[in-house]
């Protein structure tokens, strides 16, 4: 069944043991930016159950094509051409339609186009490193990009981020708001990264590793990685206010 009727119930409680805790000294910046007191539970009121929903008129024609959306006409970004595709689901396994998904990343050499970035790898004049899309009626999304490179960062003396793409996702309720990162199958750097290791559960980490999908690849053009994103599910409406739509 498609998840198209507006839903009005609260979300499942968030499993805080599955997410990284706020204080993770291996990731040094978290030390002074982590609340130390207990969160106060606020079971969903209208203010959390509702959330902004974005129309397709939000998007420009090339927002989901990082290979060309910052490039000079006729040129394209340097690097391994890939497509990232998947579904935005909720914890009940239902597709989330109309979810705005934003993504950003370093270029093929591991360099971000940002004034505070100082890594010696060169900028690619044809790569901006950001895009966005909105999921279809079944929760599907896809975009084209180049595979980002790993990069060093100031934490330990020799810490490197694995190749990754940052994701920001809007579902249907403000309490579903999520920022996370996607990693690539087979990358040994994943298991060395202090930011990855803020996540306590290895199964949770694996859920952020995109799988190479040769069936979805386009011969002589690009390879595909599949990355599903799961947002919080909503509680049942069955015995709350109506029988339909459960």
Identify residues 148-187 at the interface with another protein (CB under 8 A): 166, 168, 172-175, 177-181
| Touching another protein, residues 197-226 (CB under 8 A) | 198-199, 201, 203-205, 207-208
| Touching another protein, residues 33-72 (CB under 8 A) | 33-37, 39-54, 58, 60, 62-63, 69-70
Among 102, 136, 159, 213, binds another protein (CB under 8 A): 102
Q: How many CB atoms lie within 10 A of CB 242?
A: 10
Distance (Å, rounded) from C-alpha 185 to C-alpha 164? Answer: 11
**CB 205, min distance to another protein, A:** 7
**CB 154, min distance to another protein, A:** 10
Nearest one of 52, 96, 140, 54 to 231, comparing CA atoms? 96
Residue 140 touching another protein (CB under 8 A): no
Rank residues 83 and 199 by Cβ distance to another protein and give the closer one. 199
**CB 236, min distance to another protein, A:** 12
Which residues belong to the active site? 112, 151, 161, 164, 166
> Which residues, including other chains, have CB under 8 Å from residue 58's CB and lie 6 or more apart?
100, 132, 134
DSSP-assigned letters across all residues of 156-223: STTEEEPSEEEEEEE-SSGGG-EEEEEEETT-GGGGG-TTGGGS--HHHHHTTEEEEEEEEEETTTEE
Rank residues 217 and 245 by Cβ distance to another protein and give the closer one. 245
Residues contacting another protein: total by CB under 8 A: 91
- Reduced to 3 states, what is the DSSP secondary structure of residue 30? helix
**CB 166, min distance to another protein, A:** 6
Nearest one of 155, 148, 131, 137 to 65, comparing CA atoms? 131
Residue 75 token pair: 């040129």
Piece of 20-28, 75-83, 138-146, 217-225 that binds another protein (CB under 8 A): 20-28
């Amino acid at each position: 069944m498609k998840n198209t009727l507006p839903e009005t119930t609260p979300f499942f409680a968030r499993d805080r043991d599955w997410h990284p805790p706020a204080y993770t000294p291996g990731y040094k910046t978290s030390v002074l930016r982590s609340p130390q007191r207990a969160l106060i539970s606020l079971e969903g009121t209208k203010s959390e159950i509702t959330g902004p929903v974005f129309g397709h008129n939000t998007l420009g024609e090339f927002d989901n094509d990082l290979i060309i959306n910052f490039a000079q006409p006729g040129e394209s970004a340097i690097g391994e051409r890939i497509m990232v595709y998947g579904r935005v689901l909720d914890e009940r396994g239902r597709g989330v339609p109309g979810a705005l998904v934003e993504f950003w990343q370093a270029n093929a050499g591991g360099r971000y186009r940002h004034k505070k970035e100082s890594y010696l790898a060169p900028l690619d004049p044809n790569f901006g490193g950001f895009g966005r899309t909105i999921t279809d009626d079944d929760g599907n999304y896809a975009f084209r990009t180049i595979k980002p490179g790993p990069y060093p960062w100031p934490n330990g003396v020799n810490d490197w981020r694995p190749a990754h793409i940052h994701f920001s996702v809007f579902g249907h309720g403000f309490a579903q708001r999520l920022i996370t990162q996607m990693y690539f199958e087979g990358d040994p750097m994943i298991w060395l990264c202090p930011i990855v290791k803020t996540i306590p559960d290895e199964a949770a980490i694996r859920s952020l590793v995109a799988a190479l999908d040769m069936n979805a690849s386009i011969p002589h053009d690009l390879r595909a990685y599949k990355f599903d994103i799961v947002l919080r599910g909503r509680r049942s409406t069955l015995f709350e206010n109506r029988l339909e739509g459960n």
